[in-house]
Amino acid sequence: MTLNTILLAVGPSDNDRADALAEAVVEVAKPTGADVVIAHVFTESEFAKTAKRLEFDEDADPDEVAKRHQTVRTMTKLFDDAGVDYTIRGAMGEHAAEIIDLATEVEADRVVVGGRKRSPTGKAVFGSVAQAVMLDAPCPVTFVRGENGNGN
Amino acid sequence: MTLNTILLAVGPSDNDRADALAEAVVEVAKPTGADVVIAHVFTESEFAKTAKRLEFDEDADPDEVAKRHQTVRTMTKLFDDAGVDYTIRGAMGEHAAEIIDLATEVEADRVVVGGRKRSPTGKAVFGSVAQAVMLDAPCPVTFVRGENGNGN
């Protein structure tokens, strides 16, 4: 019953809720002393686009691209301020499957994922990535709902 | 960024995963010193059935019925052993709405809910209660997947 490792899963739509995600992790990682693995998963096309924007080659190391990503940098600033230890991982592939593989590989005791409440059209949504991770992760999963720009 | 109160939401199908739910809570409540509110929500018919089985009147206090429920007793034993402080709440009504109301009332920093991976017919499922709680809870929600009796 000891919490040693938290996998914080980050995708391309998490920039708006980077603070909320990082805060939810700090609340648990700081008192437990758990290590955080920040995992940024890119699909192939997301990776190509992000690598280009950040002036990497297309065959760049996903870990290096993840480290430069704005969402990850927002989070690491909060972790540095809070004194929480972290490592950064990048991965390429299908989001849910890569998150589950990483959670298994790092023997995560908790996965933290983000999501939102409403689609741009106002419909209540629950993300398929978050749902797939919850159904198959090797450990409990914490869902952090971000604000969604329409006051809800 | 301090975690003071964890709402552990319990429903009628959580008996099989009571240990897993309680362990996920202890992992966080013990190092943070957070108080746990164990909330057992009954629909009206579940309440009538449970009250009768436990030899309460139908107009019994839901808090008292919750305290005698097997799932809750399994959890409190683990909390007692771990030295985690808790209170027990019973509520009657629609599961997700009652959980969200209680989370708001106790100013929960985290809600913990259970669920399973497969329906009895083997289909992947994600519970509508868990989903509704995630979309509307006032704080992050941790989902604990229980075993489901078919080896998955």
Cβ-nearest to B2 among A27, A131, A140 = A27
A8 touches chain B (CB under 8 A): no
Give B29-57 pLDDT, tens digit per residue.
999 999 999 999 999 999 999 999 999 99
Sign of CA dihedral A57, A63, A66, A67: negative
Pairing of β A141-145 and β B141-145: antiparallel
Q: Token pair of B14, please?
A: 């959580």
In whole angstroms, give the CA distance from residue B63 to residue B40.
8
User: Using 50, 70 and 90 to split pLDDT, how confident is the model at A149?
Assistant: very low
Instruction: Determine which helix (DSSP H) or strand (DSSP E) holds B38, and give its type and residue range.
Output: strand B35-42
Strand partners, A142: A112, B142
B151 within domain boundaries: no
State how far residue A51 is from chain B, nearest Cα, in angstroms.
31
Residues of A in contact with B31 (CB under 8 A): 3, 31-33
β-pair partners for B145: B115
Asked if residue A91 is part of any domain, the answer here is: yes
By percentage, how much of chain B surpasses pLDDT 70? 96
Half-sphere exposure of A33 (CA within 13 A, CB side): 3
| Sign, CA torsion B42/B40/B116/A96 | positive
The answer to whether the Cβ–Cβ distance between B143 and A145 falls below 8 Å is: no
Paired tokens of B114? 């259970």
Tens of pLDDT along A3-60? 999 999 998 789 889 999 999 999 999 999 999 999 999 999 999 999 999 999 989 9
CB-CB under 8 Å, B28 with A28: yes
Name B61's Cβ contacts closer than 8 Å, sequence gap at least 6.
Answer: B90
Write the residue in B115, B131, B142 that is nearest to A126 by C-beta: B131
The answer to whether position A100 is within a domain reads: yes
Pick from A117, A135, A139, A148 the residue to mutate for testing the B interface (most B CBs within 10 Å): A135
Q: Return the CATH number at A20.
A: 3.40.50.620
Of all residues in chain A, the one with the smallest CA distance to B139 is A144
Give the rounded distance of the alpha carbon of B5 from its chain centre.
14
Domain count, chain A: 1
What is this model's ipTM?
A: 0.93
* Residue B26 is assigned to a structural domain of this protein: yes
User: Is B150 within a domain?
Assistant: no
B146 pLDDT band (50/70/90 cuts)?
A: confident
Domain with A107, as residue range(s), is: 5-145
Q: Does A140 touch chain B (CB under 8 A)?
A: yes
B92 in Cβ contact with B66 (< 8 Å):
no
Q: Which of A91, A83, A131, A84 is nearest to A111 (CA)?
A: A131
pLDDT tens readout for residues A79-134: 999 999 999 999 999 999 999 999 999 999 999 999 888 777 888 788 889 999 99
Minimum CA–CA partner of B20 in chain A: A140
The answer to whether position B152 is within a domain reads: no
Between helices B18-32 and B70-82, what is the axis angle to 10°? 30
Which of B112, B133, B83 lies closest to B5, judged by CA?
Answer: B112
Dist. CA A43–CA A84, nearest whole Å? 28
CA A9 from centroid of its chain's CA atoms: 2
State pLDDT tens for residues B94-114. Answer: 999 999 999 999 999 999 999
Distance from CA of B55 to the nearest CA of A (A): 35
Report if residue B127 sits inside a domain: yes
Residue B107 DSSP code: T
Q: Is B2 an interface residue toward A (CB < 8 Å)?
A: yes
Q: Is B134 on the interface with A (CB under 8 A)?
A: yes
Task: Report yes or no: B28 at the A interface, CB cutoff 8 Å.
Answer: yes
B144 lies within 8 A of chain A by CB: yes
Query: Does residue A145 carry a pLDDT above 80?
Result: yes
Do the Cβ atoms of B136 and A142 come within 8 Å?
no
A115 in contact with chain B, both atoms CB, cutoff 8 A = yes
- Kindly state whether residue B102 falls inside one of the protein's structural domains: yes
